Amino acid sequence: MSAPQSAPPPPPQQPAPPARSGTATAVGWVLTIALNVVAPIITYNVLTDDHGWSEFSALLVSGAWPVLDSAISVAWRRKFDEFAVVTLVFLVITAVVSLVGAHSARALLIKDSAVTGLFGLLCLGTLAAARPLMFYFGRKFATDGTPEGTAWWNGLWAYEGFRTTMKRMTLVWGSAYVAESLVRIVLAYGLDTRTMVTLSPFMIYGVLAALAVWTARYAKRSRAEGERRAAAAAAAGGAAAA
């Protein structure tokens, strides 16, 4: 009579994140929001309204704040991570796109749409790379930047469910921004400039908000599904061993 076969080991569970520094996380979020959102808007409005600068000059100067954020991130983490590289690349793209071609309000609206479209294409292009773009964005905002947090996030790539989640997020973000860019370009040609100046920000931040909500819900659902499968596999393995 043959010996009973042992049950296969259950799939490994993803490790829990390390304890995060509340102070470091808070400081990181405050700097990110202040230097990437608040400071550029204030700088642009002050230069154009109070000092009579042109829209293009004010836009270029206000873009220095995200550069400062990247520099602080590099000094804090003592390395130049992929998120900082992407940020700097898009600042250069924005500056180049703003300076070339016609300098009119309608042209500026179309150029803004082209920048978000380029971001979408970049997302889709990284699906063919070793790791998709959302992996690096997730590491930026899901960890506090400490070596322990970074090592934990990098280690999650060993799990198939995590890899699938990052690739699917990147696909959705890329497709959404390519579609948003095309719609805004079509509307820029079909609507008057005053209407588009009012509508464009709602489209930009509306798409961003919708993607943020979808990402949070999808990540939570994927994590719960992974935990359910691991628990089911562990229970099946225990029953087979008994």
Largest Cα–Cα separation, the chain:
92
Among 43-52, 102-111, 149-158, 224-233, which stretch is predicted with the lowest mean pLDDT?
102-111
The pLDDT value given to residue 1? 46
Could you tell me which residue, 119 or 66, shows the higher pLDDT? 119
Among 9-13, 88-92, 200-204, 228-232, which stretch is predicted with the lowest mean pLDDT?
9-13
**N- to C-terminal Cα separation, the chain:** 19
Residue 36: which H helix or E strand, with range?
none
Residue 208: which H helix or E strand, with range?
helix 193-241
CB contact at 8 A, 178 and 117:
yes
Domain ranges of the chain: 22-100, 102-132+160-233
Distance CA(164)–CA(39), nearest Å, equals 36
Q: Answer whether 0.95 is exceeded by the pTM.
A: no
For 35-94, the pLDDT digits (tens) are 766 787 788 778 877 788 876 677 667 777 877 776 776 676 665 555 556 666 666 666
Residue 7 pLDDT grade (very low, low, confident, very high; cuts 50, 70, 90):
very low
Could you tell me which residue, 193 or 130, shows the higher pLDDT? 130
- C-alpha dihedral (108, 109, 111, 112), degrees to nearest 10: 120
For 192-205, the pLDDT digits (tens) are 776 777 777 778 77
Distance CA(81)–CA(78), nearest Å, equals 9
Integer angstrom CA distances of residue 202 from 104, 109, 185, 206? 21, 13, 15, 5
Chain centroid offset of residue 231 CA:
31
Distance CA(196)–CA(201), nearest Å, equals 9
CB contact at 8 A, 173 and 134:
yes
